[in-house]
Structure 1
């Protein structure tokens, strides 16, 4: 619930879409969690350029992010230390089978993809 609360708080404060959320990195947050940098990606098929903006975060979003970042830190310590903001909570699979037809395992803490 910690990750979900942080995601929902960011969506409410920034109106970020799923692709914009999955592109977020920890470096897109200010040190005090007071704002976040969101790259606005145009809809598919449009010629509009990618634009970015710093958006303020509410006290609720800041608190939710603080809680999530503590959990996230433990998860990525076991994996590989990614800077992606959103990572998996549990071990899962890559979606593609190996040469024997078995699922390829991935540890918790792996970046979420678009």
Structure 2
């Protein structure tokens, strides 16, 4: 496993601690998130998404692998929480800009 970039490590730590404010601070102001068929752009939308996700799923993420590929960071994780089929394996694809997350795709 490759060491995670600081912003990505902080994002997962904050998510697991249910600290949405700290998780949001890991994103660039113009960042985009793609999750559950939705595209969210900008910090206000991302903060709302973080809050809704925490309330709905109460996720806990355990990183299994991380690789740097084509300027992105691909993370495979085990995610458990309040949803059918928990735990599941999910893939996260991060793009970084100036030490912040500029794009996150969750599959």
- When normalised by structure 1's length, the TM-score is 0.29
Structure ranking higher in strand proportion: 2
- When normalised by structure 2's length, the TM-score is 0.30
Question: Which of the two has higher C-alpha Rg?
Answer: 1
Structure ranking higher in helix proportion: 1
